[in-house]
Amino acid sequence: MADLAKDHLITTVSEDREATCWGCGLRLLLPSSAPIFKCGWCGAITNQNPRDCERKCSWWRPWRDRCFVCILIVYMLFVICGGVWALYPVVFSVNSFSGIFHSIITMILCVTTLSSFSLAAFQCAGKPPNIQWGIYPVVRKGDLEDYTFCRYCSKPKSPRTHHCRTCRMCIWDMDHHCPFIGNCVGAANHRYFLLFLISAVISTIYVSIMSAYAGWHIWPPLTYRFSRLSGFNRDMAFRVAMEVFVALLRSAVLLSARGLVLVYLFVTSISVQVGLGLLLWQQLCYIYEGKTYLSHLSSRGNDVGPKDCQNIFRFFGCPYPISRYMPNFLRSRKRHNW
């Protein structure tokens, strides 16, 4: 009985617990046994029982992503060459001015799309800046406000920095890990990613219009088998639509190789345009709201800044007059409204 009473006393009396802040190294007295606490001096959050949810990432995964990106670039070059081969006889047949004009447009779109894609894919997504931590006099009050500790990189992690398991590093202002560029989208390459989306959507719109125009010119004549039609009703409209569709399929058998490439270009460009257009719209909405995809997933409603078009200008490094900041566009990093 005496032992039981003693145990009871031990479990009910709450005693101050001593713990060390990883941010400034100060020893703190905690009133409760909560595993997570925030330092009153530097503001760093310490989690003494982190969840062990990290799986071992295979060393070949980044290489696999890089290979996929290279295959994608080769595929894009292949499609560009095929498009030029299929479209240009029609474009130059109109007149030489039309040929030169479309050559310049094609060149600009190809260079912009491929260069922005390569920069987004091969540039480091955003290494967090080195900051002082762990020593009390050096770390000043509030220096590490809401920072947590990344135990994979053994470094402090700001609230908008996330650890990517595939890239095996912390990414500053991480938006998401994109498998199509085999890289994270973060502070350093988010603009290139956006530039690629804008350029790719414009390019696919251009390709779909041009392939439809060229296809119209080289498509074999349609042969209809209309029976005598009189009056107009819904049934008749459906029959006419079916007849046109069947005539298109019938004449498609007579298409040349150029015609088949044009059909492929048209269908592919429309599909890619819809997919990338939706992604671009989603990205612009997040930037307008001053957040990233990951902060959107973890947002609790009150930690998001005001929705403002200035967020989009700020993102592209042009807070006020665009011309004044143009030279700094490629050198500076993106800025969200915190």
**Shortest Å distance, C-beta 163 to Zn ion:** 3
Residue 166 is a binding residue for Zn ion (CB under 5 A): yes
Return the C-alpha torsion angle 123, 129, 134, 137, nearest 10.
170
Contact between 156 and 144 under an 8 Å Cβ cutoff? The reply is yes
Position among 37, 39, 117, 334 found at the interface with Zn ion (CB under 5 A): 39
Q: Does 21 interact with Zn ion (rule: CB under 5 A)?
A: yes
Our CB check for Zn ion shows the closer of 131 and 248 to be 131
What is the gyration radius of the CA atoms in the chain, in angstroms?
30
Shorter beta-carbon distance to Zn ion: residue 41 or 288: 41
**C-beta closer to Zn ion: residue 41 or 92:** 41
Span of 22-30, 94-102, 212-220, 305-313 interacting with Zn ion by CB under 5 A: 22-30
- What region does 154 belong to: left with phi over 0, alpha with psi -120 to 50, or beta? left
What number of H helices and E strands is found in the chain? Answer: 9, 10
Among 162, 177, 191, 334, binds Zn ion (CB under 5 A): 177
Please pick, from the candidates 30, 105, 150, 178, the single residue that binds Zn ion as defined by CB under 5 A: 150
Residues noted as catalytic? 178
> Could you say which of 152, 219, 264, 313 contacts Zn ion (CB under 5 A)?
152
Using rule CB under 5 A, residue 182 touches Zn ion? no
Residue from 69, 86, 109, 170 binding Zn ion (CB under 5 A): 170
Subset of residues 88 to 147 that bind Zn ion, contact rule: CB under 5 A: none
Of 160, 163, 190, 314, which one interacts with Zn ion (CB under 5 A)?
163
Is the CB of residue 156 less than 8 Å from the CB of residue 46? Answer: no
Q: Is 213 in the site for Zn ion (CB under 5 A)?
A: no
Contact 336, 291 (CB under 8 A): yes
Q: What's the token pair of residue 271?
A: 């599909």
Angle in degrees, CA 317, 318, 320, rounded to 5: 145
Closest to Zn ion by CB, 177 vs 291, is 177
Residue 153 vs 212, nearer CB to Zn ion: 153
Residues 41 to 60 in contact with Zn ion, rule: CB under 5 A: 41-42, 44
The answer to whether 294 contacts Zn ion (rule: CB under 5 A) is no
DSSP state of 306: -
Q: Which amino acid is at 314?
A: R
Among 87, 164, 197, 262, binds Zn ion (CB under 5 A): 164
Of 69, 86, 91, 184, the one binding Zn ion (CB under 5 A) is 184
Tokens of 321: 């007059």
Q: What DSSP assignment string belongs to 176-218? A: EEETTTTEEE-TTTHHHHHHHHHHHHHHHHHHHHHHHHHHHHH
Query: In whole angstroms, what is the distance from residue 110 CA to residue 80 CA?
Result: 8
- The size of the chain, in residues, is 338
Q: Applying CB under 5 A, which part among 39-47, 68-76, 206-214, 313-321 lies near Zn ion?
A: 39-47
Phi and psi torsions of 94, nearest 5°: -70, -65
The CA distance from 119 to 329, in Å, is 14
Binding residues (CB under 5 A) for Zn ion: these are 21, 23-24, 39, 41-42, 44, 150, 152-153, 163-164, 166-167, 170, 177, 184
